[in-house]
Amino acid sequence: MKVRTSMNKGAIRQLSAAQIQALKMTADALKTEVMNAAVVPKQSGELERSAHIDESRADQGLVKLVYDTPYARRLYFHPELNFRTDKNANAHGKWLEHWIIGGKKDFAAKAFRKIYRMITRGTVR
């Protein structure tokens, strides 16, 4: 018994492009989620405004949420500092930990799944 298969390369390319688009949209959704949670320390708002998505390696499956200020690293890795909570009520150091290892660690996976299904219009389940 012989079995012949053929791959629909056009459909595979479309699904691959949809994965990259969904990855970028997921990163943007994460950025929005972090901003809405009001966990980033805020004095003048410069740290929050510096947040952007680095999509330069999205085609390799990697995007980054970047805070681009000289003091971002110092504030992030020193949770023992006393942060003002008058502008962002939940401000603290290591503000992304909830989405990395905490209670919201499945946010990105769920968001990606939802966005990918939306982009592919239900082709992928």
What is the value of pTM for the model shown? 0.88
Tokens of 22: 């969904």
Per-domain residue ranges of the chain: 23-119
**CA trace torsion 26, 20, 105, 123 (10° rounding):** 90
For 49-90, how does the pLDDT look when each residue is reduced to its tens digit (9 = 90+)? 999 999 999 999 999 999 999 999 999 999 899 999 999 999
What does the alpha-carbon distance between residue 37 and residue 90 come to, in Å, rounded to a whole number? 7
- pLDDT value for 1: 87
